[in-house]
Amino acid sequence: MSERVEIVSIGNELLIGKTLNTNSHWLARSLVSLGLSVDRITVVRDNVAEIAEALREAMQRSPNFIITTGGLGPTFDDMTLSGLAQALNSCLQLNKKALKMIQEKYVEIASELGCETLELTPPREKMAVIPEGAEPLPNPVGTAPAVTIKWKTVTIFALPGVPQEMKAIFEDSLLDPLRKAIGDRARFEASLHVSGVMESEMAPLIEEVMHANPLVYIKSHPKGSENNPVLELHLSTTAKNIATAKTLVGRTLVQLSAVVEGAGGKTRTGTIPSAGS
Amino acid sequence: MSERVEIVSIGNELLIGKTLNTNSHWLARSLVSLGLSVDRITVVRDNVAEIAEALREAMQRSPNFIITTGGLGPTFDDMTLSGLAQALNSCLQLNKKALKMIQEKYVEIASELGCETLELTPPREKMAVIPEGAEPLPNPVGTAPAVTIKWKTVTIFALPGVPQEMKAIFEDSLLDPLRKAIGDRARFEASLHVSGVMESEMAPLIEEVMHANPLVYIKSHPKGSENNPVLELHLSTTAKNIATAKTLVGRTLVQLSAVVEGAGGKTRTGTIPSAGS
């Protein structure tokens, strides 16, 4: 069993179709290639009650980790930490460590701008107001610190929505605890491009191979149409080490190629670089 | 009050970060520009129980519409209709109208391929097995019909995951009922690009203008950094007609530009083509 993660993406721009949710895509890809399993992605708007509701629901499903993105900035519509506090039934308080991180950032910015000092206005101070018991995580790129807090067996990380800030904090502060949680399991994946066999003909053949290889997940992605069929079969597994994972996927690839060729189709293999340890 | 929609995206490929969820982005954009409000997007894997759970939760929140994407095809991992039946406490049954749609598709494909006939194998027939009481919607591009069913006040649409099929069915079969539901309200939006003022300085100014214009939603998108600040302010509203919507946004734009210039910043306006009626 993999460690389970839920992602909660916060921001009106995601629900009006203004911004494509590339953050959850990047996070899912990174988490899965580390060997974790992403169970659900939930997108909610900038609204304290709706954020709290989505977080509470996710917490009740007891994943190992919940990662939120968005809503940590200085503006009135950055509401993630209020929603998190409400979900945890805790209070928001000014965190001294977070305040220090923000102060240092504005000293840095002032010196870059050649200004004497940049006042710690209420919107700037707001970024240091986090749920009681939470810890700030440094933001190497922007000003708003990320936040982490533990609830029962669930570790929650609240990351900013600006992609380069989110990625930098993920790499600086999340990789270690995530790797520690998954131990030494490794993931391997590969693709098989199939042409000349219809998806509906492939379905029972894939099922057969999957039943013979229960540890390998096979997913078919139609790329052409039923009368000009091109299929991509995506194979993946997580195992206790990379050698085992490669063996499992390799054996399944060989069997799949055989049934495709038996059905009159052609195959081409594509290996996906593995990020497993 | 806008009619509320929830989107449920179904597919393991979305949770392993293989496929970017462009379907929900396209749907959100289309729905919002028609004047509807998208409350939540939920992404779950190809698993009957998890699909049913996500649908049941969405149904309990009583949106006017739930739109699902993915999981309607012929393969073993296409489970959306099983999940929908479970959520509705209804049975799956072979639908004659759906079967006829699929049969006609395979006659078409066979004639294009120059074959005599294409057998209606179990995986192909599976696409006609839909929840009791549901109606199939023709798929002008692919083979799997979409499905619609009403539960209390909620209208549910299950669309395929292949983007061109999803979009074609949306345009052929969803536009009419959606437009009927929203009546004659219209949406208008515009952008204001702000340079030379920090986001944290803009925050209280935006709040002030927003309070004076409660029907216009203003969202700030940082595009630069705190020491080289470029902000995009996105303004939008839905009103009973396009003239009213334009007036509301226009008045707010003028006020926002004035406060930005008062704070020493520069502005540039961008109008977004409106899809409101």
Portion of chain A with pLDDT greater than 70, in percent: 97
How many angstroms away from the CA of B231 is the closest CA of chain A? 12
The pLDDT of residue A277 is above 70: no
How many angstroms away from the CA of B149 is the closest CA of chain A? 24
Which tens digit of pLDDT belongs to each residue from A256-271?
Answer: 999 999 999 999 887 6
Test mutation, A6, A13, A18, A272, chain B, max B CBs within 10 A: A18
**DSSP track, chain B:** -PPEEEEEEE-HHHHTTSS--HHHHHHHHHHHHHT-EEEEEEEE-S-HHHHHHHHHHHHHT--SEEEEES--SSSTT--HHHHHHHHHT--EEE-HHHHHHHHHHHHHHHHHHT-S-----HHHHHTTEEETT-EEE--SSSSS-EEEEEETTEEEEEE-SSHHHHHHHIIIIIHHHHHHHHTT-EEEEEEEEEESS-HHHHHHHHHHHHHH-TTSEEEEEE-SBTTB-EEEEEEEEEESSHHHHHHHHHHHHHHHHHHHHHTT-EEEEEEEPP---
Portion of chain B with pLDDT greater than 90, in percent: 60
Average pLDDT over residues A207-219: 82
Of A19, A37, A222, the CB nearest to B162: A222
User: Do the interacting molecules here have an ipTM over 0.90?
Assistant: no
Of A17, A124, A226, the CB nearest to B200: A124
Residues of A in contact with B77 (CB under 8 A): 219-220
Of B17, B57, B105, the CB nearest to A25: B17
Among A67-76, A222-231, B84-93, B150-159, which is the least confidently predicted range? Answer: A222-231
pLDDT at B271: 60
Among chain A residues, the shortest Cα distance to B25 is held by: A17
Is B16's CB within 8 Å of A39's CB?
no
How many angstroms away from the CA of B205 is the closest CA of chain A? 10
The pLDDT of residue A136 is above 80: yes
Residues of A in contact with B142 (CB under 8 A): 225-226
How many angstroms away from the CA of B114 is the closest CA of chain A? 10
Q: What is the pTM of this model?
A: 0.82
Q: Which domains does chain B have, with CATH numbers?
A: 4-182 (3.40.980.10), 186-272 (3.30.70.600)
Of A42, A112, A219, the CB nearest to B42: A42
